[in-house]
Amino acid sequence: MDWQPFLLSVKLATLATGLLLPLMILAAWWISFGGPWKVAIRALLTLPMVLPPTVMGFYLLTALSPTSFVGGFIERVFSLRLVFSFPGMLIATLIISIPFLLNPLLSGFESLPRSLTEAARILGKNRWIILGRVQLPNMIPSILTACVLTFAHALGEFGVILMIGGKIPGKTLVASMAVYDLVETMDYSGALRYSLVLTGAAFAVLASITYLERRSRRTV
Amino acid sequence: MIREMKIEVSKTLFTQEGSRRLEFDLQIKAGELVGIFGASGSGKTTLLRMIAGLAAPDEGSIVVDGCTWFDSIRHINLSAESRCVGFVFQDHNLFPNMTVEGNLRFSLRHGFPDIIEEVLQVLGLSELRARKPSQLSGGQSQRVALARTLVNQPHLLLLDEPFSSLDWSLRWRLQNDLLDWHRRFGCTTLLVSHDLLELTRITSRIIHLGETVLNADELDEAAVLYAKMSQNIRSQEHSFSYSGVGKSKDLTYS
């Protein structure tokens, strides 16, 4: 069995989760302060979760292609073609993963009693100290949930990254696409092996995160 | 220490019974321990929140030692972070991720860690220093909440029903702790409570929020009871003044 698609899937999911987490913590924190514009911004950032993958894939393919402003600019400046490449797939994964991180984090911020923040404010602590010392340590279960949802979703993502990355073996062929390829070629036993590994990996991630989440709830 | 504080604020309160207007006009002198008394929904907590900077009055001003904390006409509203008050919340609000000692260390505004040991000792918390708030009883949590505020030796201490969830003996002990601390540092203090007996025991002045005014008999009863019970509290001669809507009364008992 070729492990390359799995390694690529794990690399993609890990990078997407790791790169997006700090940005989404800041975004969720900012949105949690409230305000009329933030409702619209929250809805906009949640769109990738409800739009069909083909629509998202089409938007991204158009935006990242060398003939577009963004894709053309990146190709000229960094000599990097985003379509049918790993960086392009990563950008697509980052964008479609936003709601999977943002929503649990927002719930985390919103579920913290406002009085905790007020107690820290009375003690003269600024917003950054309150974020780092009070809010984030008390919403670890939400952070873990956000990470596992994003990682698991990125691991199994198919539609959008197929449109952006194609399925070039060794370059952009991830595990979910490999299953699709094997089914197309009627290699059901191969598809089953890949599917079982993907299922096992997803289960292991979910179980370990659930364990960590329970432990963090006990220690807080 | 705060030399003088002038509060003249009004705010519309929205309660289950409808909206009502809270109007408050008070001058507090250095080192006073003032009680705020009133029924649920009378605006006691809102008043403390306005003084602390956690809620803005609709109109009025708050001036402390000549420094304007709030002025609705001049659009001045000093942030809660800058007011340097101590606030003990009704539900304690300890930081769950920190130990007792961690809560105190985090609270310290200035670098005098020796005070932490002193406060832990005075409030009998030394043995609980490594515990998380979830491992504390209600009374212990309350003491930690008080300790967390006292480590900064605030010029103004705001206490929102600090003893309401405690049993009688613990309440008595913490009242004594508070009085000891007040005698020692002379920190100007506002204590909110719906327990008139508690207020007559430890405060020197009671402000009554609400529409009903206590009659002299009710005050007499409370004050005499505590004057008898609290022989070592404040002084042998227990005195306080009471002001309610349209009524003011100074009482002295021995």
CB contact under 8 A, B81 and A121: yes
| Inter-residue contact B206 to B199 (CB < 8 Å) | yes
Token duo for residue A22:
């700090």
Q: DSSP character for B127?
A: G
Please tell me the number of Cα atoms within 13 Å of B145 on its side-chain side.
28
Q: What is the mean pLDDT of residues B14-42?
A: 84
Domain extent at residue A120: 4-219
Mean pLDDT over each residue of chain B, to the nearest integer: 81
Residue B253: the pLDDT is: 40
Q: Which of residues 79-98 of B touch A (CB under 8 A)?
A: 79-82, 84-87, 89, 91, 93, 95-97
| Inter-residue contact A149 to A175 (CB < 8 Å) | no
Which of the residue ranges A122-131, A134-143, B147-156 would you say has the lowest mean pLDDT?
A: B147-156
Token duo for residue B232:
């070592």
Residue B110: the pLDDT is: 75
Which of the residue ranges A145-154, A209-218, B11-20 would you say has the lowest mean pLDDT?
A: A209-218
Residue B227: the pLDDT is: 52
Residue A119: the pLDDT is: 94
Task: Output the CA–CA distances (angstroms, integers) from residue B127 to A68, A153, B120, in the order listed.
Answer: 67, 47, 9
Which of the residue ranges A120-134, B64-78, B201-215 would you say has the lowest mean pLDDT?
A: B201-215
Partnered with residue B26 across adjacent β-strands are B7
Residue B171: the pLDDT is: 83
Q: How far apart are CA A77 and CA A69, in angstroms?
A: 12
The three-class DSSP label of residue A151 is: helix
Q: DSSP character for A195?
A: H
CA distance B53 to chain A (A): 8
Residue A178: the pLDDT is: 87
Residue B231: the pLDDT is: 45
Residue B57: the pLDDT is: 93
Q: What is the mean pLDDT of residues A152-158?
A: 86
Which of A113, A118, A134 is closest, CB to CB, to B54? A118
- How many domains are contained in chain A? 1
Q: What is the mean pLDDT of residues B19-47?
A: 86
Residue B52: the pLDDT is: 94
Q: What is the mean pLDDT of residues A32-55?
A: 87
Chains A and B: how many Cβ contacts under 8 Å? 51
Please tell me the number of Cα atoms within 13 Å of A187 on its side-chain side.
12
| Inter-residue contact B157 to B179 (CB < 8 Å) | no
Please give the angle made by the CA atoms of A68, A73 and A74, to the nearest 5 degrees. Answer: 105
Residue A129: the pLDDT is: 95
Place of tokens 């070592």: B232
Q: Which amino acid is at A26?
A: L
What are phi and psi for residue B88, nearest 5 degrees?
Answer: -105, 115
CATH number (domain holding residue A83): 1.10.3720.10
Regarding predicted confidence, which is higher, B34 or A220? B34
Burial of B92 (C-beta count, 10 Å sphere; 0-12/13-18/19+): buried
| Inter-residue contact B151 to B139 (CB < 8 Å) | no
pLDDT band at B226 (very low <50, low <70, confident <90, very high): low
| The pLDDT of residue B212 is above 70 | no
Residue B224: the pLDDT is: 55
Q: How far apart are CA A60 and CA B65, in angstroms?
A: 61
Residue A123: the pLDDT is: 92
What ipTM was estimated for this complex?
A: 0.79
CB contact under 8 A, A115 and B80: no
pLDDT band at B238 (very low <50, low <70, confident <90, very high): very low
End-to-end CA distance of chain A: 44
- Residue A115: list chain B partners with CB under 8 A: 89, 91, 93
pLDDT tens across A89-112, in order? Answer: 999 999 999 999 999 999 999 999
| Inter-residue contact A39 to A106 (CB < 8 Å) | no
